[in-house]
């Protein structure tokens, strides 16, 4: 496990991504955790400006970015101060000696230099004059110091490639492509990286270098994928399988904007991306597109989700297919825009006026985001209903190796547009799914009116009679509840019955899986149920919970799923909550398991 | 020609069997009647019409039109309609809204729809009051207006809707009056012929909560003295005896009486296609000035701007032609990949 950290202008995200791609292509299993500040450029060298990128790579299965790191690359005192507690004792610590002057220390609110006061004695410290060495290696290129200094992250990257015995090829290719139009910068970054690599070779600064053999993954073709990229590709796939155009209405918001960026490049798939004037126009334009017969989707995060609430109710009332992606972040209000949280579950389930049931899904891993996009689209279209996907900042930006699926094996998404005007009724339901017909404008003889006012059953005419209203409320609820017949039962990982079952959802999957494995190796009988469908809940869930003595529900919120489980199944489930803007560590889950079972 | 096979429609074909729930005497009836008369004349198949509304008295409109219709939520009709029009540029999409729906809660969507120039026809019923919520002041109510929510008079300065639309770079801005049936129908037809966003302010009387709001313009004896009807290429003349006119004096407009050496040749000739908006602004602001008439007709009709939906869809066509249609399998395997062998 390795973490790069520095100033938000130091290029740590790029460095981390480069390292990730290189080790993944080599065949290591990976998990990553980019951690960056909300400010684009906080004052240089200060504590709030620290940006980090953690990569866990291994020869065996990796489930999380890791609890503590084996190597830490800190570009300045502020980065060192905020990250040191996560470095293992005796871990490798590379610091940029050139940035440990008095001013740098003061900016990090340090009174003495940690390089001199023995506070780093527990680690293998390698102070390197990164700035000077980078400048020296690039002195012949005729670039200004500012440009040269911006290459020092590649010098550090080169050092890490030597340390972990990795080829520079992947990053060399990337530099070539990235700086195609700026050959001078390409040359500078290439030289800096090679210089970093040679520096280690020549100075024998590190006594050892590490060899981490490829992991044993299932056979197939792989690529790296982040949750947001996977979601974007999933929607393109859904649109292709459904044979209808994809329409994204979106307003930029962290950490969801990358989905908009990604989809805006897929115009040759017929994808329309509409950057709306606000969150409300984002969802209502998608509703308009769904009315027209497109696959309408909208992407946002918590504050935007709050703004979309009224329109979600409209989508429920007019019964049009729609997919809403909430890439959760810390809240309330603006909260922690770049940090992860799972606290929008109850908002997704209940955050609307009156009775407005909506199916809710949650991907478990970055790669699963692809499959959840397909599943959400399938449900939305089949049942003529808005569907919410709850991803989060950790899944959105985290990456993992993803086995590329065979297109022919993707699920079909049948679409039927009503065309028969004989006896057409806009709210006559399919007896099996309770879905109303999708009757799109432009179809002769199907002229009809829909809207947010309560409608009469079958005819769709506006109607405020008491019994009709109750019937319609119950029908909409029944339709969503009925989806339970169309989703798989849960199959617990680990022990099918035993002392404890961990029930989790979303991005906690990795930490729980790793903790489960470790604890079962210690002989404990534990199962893990990871819910991808949060509404409706799988039909065998109550029975499965009954097979274990105890139920543990770890969540990055104050206990939202646990409340639902306790209410619905009357089980004495234990909550375990972390609300720090950071994912669970494997050790934290393990400690909780031990606390409950010992 | 599609018109060759088009059924011959009458007004009746655009009426529904739904009971109309506006108050007796409401100006909305006249507007509904005008729209139902004009739609059959546009040479468009009925199933291609979509009427989209927000919330308010005016927004009940779709229920009474035998076309596709969508009664959405407060203020959001332009956004829903934008998503629809981008997805189906072949549809004829009309938005029906009011002064509260379009200029208060939906003000943001209104200006952004106009600057994008989405091909939507917008009928904004302006009765200068909130009717459905029973009589609060609206963003077009005059300052000092006493209403249920402003017993001591409203402190708000009103919007001038046509000025706002021109300021938002609207390519078609017009104004008509519920009771001027012939003028209203002609204006609707001109809007229908316009390619981009067409914004029509329709002065409408709410006889329950704001009766007589437009009386000075609509009352038979007064109307010709208080209204100037704009006609492209014709001088700005008005008055019972057609003896008054508007002429340019420096950078400003002035009202003149014909005679005493002043002839029609001295008057401003209406140019709705003028490329710069200043002229239309001056017209829009006339009625706020003492002694000036209120303009009705087309203030601005500017054809040089592409429709939003055309730009979006041609970009998709261009990129597709350049890159060839997307291949899903290739997309999934984009970037660096590696193979794990069994």
Segment A176-182 long-range contacts (CB within 8 Å, at least 24 positions apart): none
Q: What is the pLDDT of residues A480-492, one digit of tens each?
A: 999 999 999 999 9
Q: At what angle do helices A130-137 and A152-163 cross, to 10 degrees?
A: 100
Describe chain B by its helix, strand, coil percentages, rounded to 5: 35, 20, 40
Check whether residue A292 and residue A363 sit in a common domain: yes
Q: CB distance B331–A233 less than 8 Å?
A: yes
Interface of A with B in 158-177 (CB under 8 A): 170
Q: CB B326 to CB A270 under 8 A?
A: yes
CB A527 within 8 A of CB A501: yes
DSSP string, A384-415: T-EEEEEEEHHHHH-EEEEEPPPGGGSPP---
Q: Does A411 touch chain B (CB under 8 A)?
A: no
Test mutation, A215, A220, A232, A268, chain B, max B CBs within 10 A: A268
Residue-level pLDDT at B4: 59
Nearest residue, CB atoms, B319 vs list A27, A268, A288: A268
> A119 and chain B: CB distance < 8 Å anywhere?
no
Q: Evaluate whether residue A432 is within a structural domain.
A: no
State which of A19-28, A146-155, B169-178 shows the largest mean pLDDT: B169-178
The length of chain B in residues reads 342
Give the CA distances from residue A535 to residues A348, A377, A470, A487, B236, in Å, rounded to whole numbers and listed in that order.
10, 15, 21, 10, 65
Q: Min CA distance, B122 vs chain A (Å)? A: 16
| Pair A231, A259: CB distance under 8 Å | yes
What distances in angstroms separate CA B281 from CA A368, B164, B228, one per listed residue? 55, 9, 15
Distance from CA of B76 to the nearest CA of A (A): 7
Q: Is A310 on the interface with B (CB under 8 A)?
A: yes
* A480: in domain: no
Mean pLDDT of the region B7-30: 95
DSSP A85-149: GGEEEEEEEEEEGGG-SHHHHHHTT-SS-TTTSSTTTTSEEEEE-HHHHHHHHTGGG---HHHHH
Residues A193 and A290 grouped into a single domain: no
Q: Does A198 share its domain with A322?
A: no
Token pair for B330: 């290739």
What class has domain B2-213? alpha beta
Which region, left, alpha or beta, applies to residue B151 given φ > 0 means left and ψ of -120 to 50 means alpha?
alpha
Q: How far does CA A115 lie from the centroid of its chain?
A: 37
Among chain A residues, CA nearest to B317: A268
What is the Rg, in whole angstroms, of the alpha carbon atoms belonging to chain A?
A: 26
Burial string for B279-307 (b: 16+ CB within 10 Å, else e) reads bbbbbbebbeeeebbbbbbbbbbbeebeb
A-B CB pairs within 8 A amount to 208
**CB within 8 Å: B87 and A247:** yes
If asked whether residues A375 and A516 sit together in one domain, one would say no
CB A529 within 8 A of CB A501: yes
Residues A311, A287: contact at Cβ < 8 Å? yes
Burial (CB count <10 Å: 0-12, 13-18, 19+), residue B333 = middle
CATH number of residue A7's parent domain = 3.40.920.10
* Cross-chain Cβ contact A272/B316 below 8 Å: yes
Minimum distance, in Å, between the CA of residue A447 and any CA atom of chain B: 5
Looking at the complex, report in whole angstroms how far the Cα of residue B59 sits from the nearest Cα belonging to chain A: 10
- Supply the pLDDT for residue B6: 83
Which chain A residues are closer than 8 Å to B332 by Cβ? 233, 237, 404-405, 407
Across residues B123-134, what is the average pLDDT?
96
Expressed as residue numbers, the domain containing A341 is 223-409
Q: Is the pLDDT confidence value at A219 over 70?
A: yes
Q: Which residues of B touch A26 (CB under 8 A)?
A: 338
Least confident of A529-543, B2-16, B33-47, B261-275: B2-16
Flag if A287 and B323 touch (Cβ within 8 Å): no
Q: Does residue A589 belong to any structural domain of this protein? A: yes
Choosing from A409, A427, A448, the residue where a domain stops is: A409
Residue of A214, A293, A443 with shortest CB distance to B47: A443
Contact A324, A388 (CB under 8 A): yes
d(C-alpha B131, C-alpha B134), whole Å? 5
Smallest Cβ–Cβ distance between A281 and the set B90, B109, B329 belongs to B109
Report the C-alpha gap between A501 and A159 in whole angstroms. 44
Q: Which residue has the higher pLDDT, A496 or A218?
A: A496
Report the pLDDT value the prediction gives residue A89, as an integer from 0 to 100.
87
A389 in the same domain as A240: yes
Number of domains present in the structure of chain A: 3
Least confident of A168-172, A200-204, B5-9, B187-191: A200-204
Q: Is the pLDDT of residue A205 over 70?
A: no
Answer whether A245's CB lies under 8 Å from A295's CB. yes
Chosen from B320, B332, B334, B342 to mutate, greatest number of chain A CBs within 10 A: B332
> Which chain B residues touch A249 with a CB distance below 8 Å?
83
Nearest to B340 among A220, A245, A277 (CB): A220
Mean per-residue pLDDT, A86-99: 91
* B2 pLDDT more than 70: no
User: B70 contacts in A (CB within 8 Å)?
Assistant: 288, 291, 318, 449-451
- Is the residue at A27 inside a domain? yes
pLDDT value at residue A200: 87
pLDDT score recorded for residue A208: 67
For residue A404, give the nearest of B50, B76, B332 by CB distance.
B332
Interface pTM (ipTM) of the complex?
A: 0.97
Residue A41 above 80 pLDDT? no
Q: How far is A219 from chain B (nearest CA, A)?
A: 5
> What CA–CA distance (Å, rounded) separates A594 from B157?
67
Distance CA(A344)–CA(A342), nearest Å, equals: 6
Nearest to B73 among A25, A27, A311 (CB): A311
Q: Higher confidence at residue B308 or residue A146?
A: B308
Nearest CA in chain B to A459: B18
Q: Do B71 and A453 touch (CB under 8 A)?
A: yes
φ/ψ (deg, to 5) at B261: 90, -10
Q: Which residues pair with B97 in a beta bridge?
A: B124
Question: Which among B82, B108, B328 has CB closest to A285?
Answer: B82
Q: With contacts defined as CB-CB under 8 Å, which chain A residues touch B16?
A: 449
- Quick check: is A271 in a domain? yes
- Asked if B342's CB is within 8 angstroms of A247's CB, the reply is no
Nearest to A343 by CA among A507, A490, A528, A509: A507
> Whole-angstrom Cα distance, residue B78 to residue A494?
52
* pLDDT for the residue numbered B1: 45
Per-residue confidence (pLDDT) for residue A132, from 0 to 100: 94
* Residues A170 and A263 placed together within one structural domain of the fold: no
Tell if the CB–CB gap between A449 and B16 is shorter than 8 Å. Answer: yes
* pLDDT number for residue A269: 98
- Distance (Å) from the alpha carbon of B299 to chain A's nearest alpha carbon: 26
Peptide bond into A536 cis (omega under 30): yes
Q: Is the peptide bond before B315 cis (omega within 30 degrees of 0)?
A: no
Q: Does the structure show a pLDDT above 60 at B151?
A: yes
Assess A224–B contact: CB distance below 8 Å, yes or no: yes
Cβ separation of B47 and A240 shorter than 8 Å? no
CATH number at residue A502: 3.40.50.920
- What Rg do the C-alpha atoms of chain B give, in angstroms? 23
Burial of A122 (0-12, 13-18, 19+ CB in 10 A): middle
Closest CA–CA distance from residue B70 to any residue of chain A (Å) = 5
Q: Bigger pLDDT: B316 or A30?
A: B316
* Strand, coil or helix: A225: strand
pLDDT digits over B59-109, tens only? 999 999 999 999 999 999 999 999 999 999 999 999 999 999 999 999 999
Classify B274 as helix, strand or coil. Answer: coil
**A191 and A233 in one domain?**
no
Closest chain A residue to the Cα of B16, Cα to Cα: A448
Q: Which residues of A touch B342 (CB under 8 A)?
A: 219
Please report residues of B whose CB lies closer than 8 A to that of A25. Answer: 336, 338
Is the confidence at residue A40, as pLDDT, over 80?
Answer: no
Task: Summarize the confidence of residues B198-202 as an average pLDDT.
Answer: 98
Q: Are A178 and A240 part of one and the same domain?
A: no
Nearest-neighbour CA in chain B from A222: distance (Å): 5
Chain B interface includes A451 (CB < 8 A): yes
Confidence class for position A207, pLDDT limits 50, 70, 90: low
| Residues of B with Cβ-Cβ distance to A441 under 8 angstroms | 47-48, 50, 68, 84, 88, 91
CA angle B256, B261, B265 (to 5 degrees): 70
- Among A177-191, A342-356, B173-187, where is mean pLDDT lowest? A177-191
- Would you call B91 and A405 a contact, using CB atoms and an 8 Å cutoff? no
A417 three-state secondary structure: strand
Kindly state the helix (H) or strand (E) to which residue A257 belongs, with its residue range: helix A257-263
Looking at the fold, whether A404 and A500 belong to one and the same domain comes out as no
Q: What is the pLDDT of residue A217?
A: 83
pLDDT of A142 higher than 60? yes
Q: Are residues A26 and A174 in the same domain?
A: yes
List the Cα angle A336/A303/A252 in 5-degree steps: 90
Average of per-residue pLDDT values in chain B = 95
Q: Mean pLDDT throughout A248-269? A: 97
Q: Decide if B177 contacts B201 (C-beta within 8 A).
A: no
Judge whether residue A406 has pLDDT over 70: yes
| A90 φψ region: left (φ > 0), alpha (ψ -120 to 50), beta (else) | left
Do A199 and A231 reside in the same domain of the chain? no
Asked if residues B198 and B172 have their Cβ atoms less than 8 Å apart, the reply is: yes
Question: Count of residues for chain A?
Answer: 598
**Torsion angle in degrees (nearest 10) through CA of A500, A505, A506, A512:** 0
Answer whether residue A212 is part of any domain.
Answer: no
Q: Any idea where the domains of chain B sit in the sequence?
A: 2-213
Which residue has better confidence, B78 or A37?
Answer: B78
């Amino acid at each position: 496990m390795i973490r790069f950290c520095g100033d938000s202008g130091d290029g740590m995200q790029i460095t981390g991504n480069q390292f990730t791609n290189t080790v993944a292509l080599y065949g290591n299993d990976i998990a990553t955790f980019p951690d960056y500040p909300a400010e684009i450029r906080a004052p240089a060298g200060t504590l709030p400006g620290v940006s980090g990128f953690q990569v866990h790579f291994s020869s065996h299965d990796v489930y999380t970015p890791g609890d503590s790191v084996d190597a830490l690359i800190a570009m300045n005192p502020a980065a060192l101060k905020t990250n040191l507690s996560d470095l293992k004792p005796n871990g490798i610590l590379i610091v940029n000696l050139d940035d440990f002057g008095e001013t740098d220390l003061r900016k990090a609110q340090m009174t003495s230099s940690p390089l001199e006061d023995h506070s780093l004695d527990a680690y293998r410290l390698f102070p390197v004059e990164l700035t000077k060495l980078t400048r020296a290696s690039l002195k012949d290129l005729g670039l200004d110091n500012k440009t040269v200094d911006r290459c020092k992250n590649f010098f550090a990257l080169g050092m890490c490639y030597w340390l972990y015995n990795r080829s520079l090829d992947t990053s060399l290719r990337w530099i070539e492509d990235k700086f195609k139009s700026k050959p001078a910068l390409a040359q500078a970054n290439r030289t800096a990286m090679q210089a970093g690599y040679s520096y280690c070779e020549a100075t024998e600064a590190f006594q050892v270098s590490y060899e981490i053999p490829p992991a044993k993954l299932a056979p197939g073709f792989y690529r790296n994928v982040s949750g947001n990229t996977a979601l974007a590709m999933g929607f393109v796939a859904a649109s292709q399988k459904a044979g209808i155009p994809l329409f994204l209405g979106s307003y930029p918001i962290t950490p969801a904007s990358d989905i908009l960026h990604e989809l805006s490049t897929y115009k040759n798939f017929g994808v329309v991306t509409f950057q709306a004037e606000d969150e409300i126009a984002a969802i209502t334009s998608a509703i308009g597109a769904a009315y027209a017969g497109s696959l309408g989707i909208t992407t946002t995060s918590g504050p935007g989700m709050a703004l979309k609430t009224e329109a979600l109710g409209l989508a429920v009332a007019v019964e049009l297919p729609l997919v809403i992606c909430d890439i959760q972040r810390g809240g309330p209000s603006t909260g922690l825009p770049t940090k992860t949280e799972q606290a929008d579950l109850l908002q997704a389930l209940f955050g609307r006026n009156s009775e407005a049931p909506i199916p809710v899904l949650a991907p478990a891993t970055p790669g699963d985001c692809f499959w959840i996009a397909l599943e959400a689209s399938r449900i939305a279209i089949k049942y003529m209903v808005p569907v919410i996907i709850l991803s989060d900042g950790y899944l959105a930006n985290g990456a993992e190796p993803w086995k590329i699926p065979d297109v022919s094996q993707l699920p079909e998404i049948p679409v039927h547009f009503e065309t028969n005007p004989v006896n057409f009724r806009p709210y006559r339901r399919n007896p099996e799914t309770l879905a109303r017909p999708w009757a799109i404008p432009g179809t002769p003889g199907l002229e009809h009116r829909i809207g947010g006012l309560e409608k009469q059953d079958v005819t769709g005419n506006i109607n405020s009679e008491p019994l009709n209203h109750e019937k319609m409320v119950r029908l909409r609820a029944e339709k969503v509840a009925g989806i339970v017949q169309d989703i798989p039962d849960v199959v617990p990982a680990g022990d099918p019955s035993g002392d404890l079952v961990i029930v989790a959802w979303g991005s906690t999957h990795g930490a729980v899986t790793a903790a489960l494995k470790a604890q079962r190796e210690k002989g404990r009988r534990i199962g893990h149920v990871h819910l991808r469908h949060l509404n409706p809940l799988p039909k065998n869930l109550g029975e499965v919970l009954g097979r274990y003595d105890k139920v543990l529900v770890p969540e990055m919120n104050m206990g939202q799923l646990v409340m639902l489980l306790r209410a619905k199944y009357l089980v004495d489930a234990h909550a375990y909550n972390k609300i720090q803007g950071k994912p669970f560590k494997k050790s934290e889950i393990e400690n909780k398991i031990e606390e409950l079972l010992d | 020609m599609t018109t060759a096979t088009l059924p011959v429609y009458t007004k009746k074909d655009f009426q529904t069997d739904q009971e109309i729930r506006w108050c007796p005497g409401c100006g909305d009836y006249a507007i509904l009647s005008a729209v139902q008369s004009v739609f059959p004349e546009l040479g468009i198949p009925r199933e291609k019409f979509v009427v989209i509304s927000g919330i308010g008295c005016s927004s009940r409109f779709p229920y009474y039109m035998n076309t596709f219709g969508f009664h959405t939520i407060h203020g959001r009709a332009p956004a829903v309609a934008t998503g629809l029009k981008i997805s189906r540029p072949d549809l004829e999409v009309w938005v029906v809204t009011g002064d509260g729906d379009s200029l208060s809660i939906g003000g943001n969507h209104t200006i952004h729809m106009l600057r994008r120039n989405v091909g939507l026809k917008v009928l904004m019923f302006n009765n200068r009051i909130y009717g459905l919520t029973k009589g609060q002041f609206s963003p077009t109510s005059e300052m000092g207006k006493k209403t249920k929510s402003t017993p001591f008079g409203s402190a708000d300065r009103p919007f001038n809707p046509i000025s706002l639309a021109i300021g938002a770079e609207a390519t078609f801005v017009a104004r008509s009056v519920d009771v001027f049936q012939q003028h209203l129908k002609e204006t609707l037809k001109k809007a229908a012929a316009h390619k981009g966003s067409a914004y029509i302010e329709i002065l409408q009387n709410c006889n329950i909560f704001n009766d007589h709001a437009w009386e000075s313009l609509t009352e038979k004896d007064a109307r010709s003295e208080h209204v100037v009807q704009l006609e492209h290429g014709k001088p700005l003349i008005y008055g019972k005896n057609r003896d008054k006119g508007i002429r340019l004096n420096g950078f400003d407009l002035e009202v003149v009486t014909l005679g005493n050496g002043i002839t029609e040749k001295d008057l401003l000739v209406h140019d709705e296609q003028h490329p710069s908006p200043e002229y239309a602004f001056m017209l829009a602001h006339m009625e706020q000035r003492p002694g000036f008439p209120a303009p009705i007709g087309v203030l601005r009709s500017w054809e040089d701007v592409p429709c939003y939906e055309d730009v979006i869809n041609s970009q998709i066509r261009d990129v597709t032609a350049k890159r060839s249609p997307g291949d899903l399998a290739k997309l999934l395997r984009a970037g660096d990949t590696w193979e794990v062998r069994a």
